[in-house]
Structure 1
Amino acid sequence: MSGFDWPALMRTGIQGLGLRPTEFWALSPVELSVMLGAGGASSPMGRARLAELSAAFPDTMEIRDE
């Protein structure tokens, strides 16, 4: 026995994540774990942090006269 609950993993990958069966089976266990949120990934960036970064690194277009 592999120790994996394959039916639950397949339901989560195919129904929950919207993967096609070929996409599910092409993933490595690590890739699937990351997609499921395992591994201590940080939470998505919020508006306040985006505003902070935008202020620190504004998008500007430099026009040069040549």
Structure 2
Amino acid sequence: MDWPGLMRAGLHQLRLTPAAFWALTPAELALMLGGTSGGARPLARAGLSELMARFPDETGERSDE
């Protein structure tokens, strides 16, 4: 771990207090610095199409009476 670099980023770039910096998990700090945790990637067109097929919008009108 590059603690000096992480501390500079947290305390100077993000302007966190020392207590707030040390209360963060590494995943939270990474997210605040613009990264993603767990290697998650944005949803691509194929993934969206699969979700739309699995969970289609309801059709027809609903009666709220």
TM-score by length of 1: 0.49
TM-score by length of 2: 0.49
Say which structure, 1 or 2, has more relative contact order (CA 8 Å, 6+ apart).
2
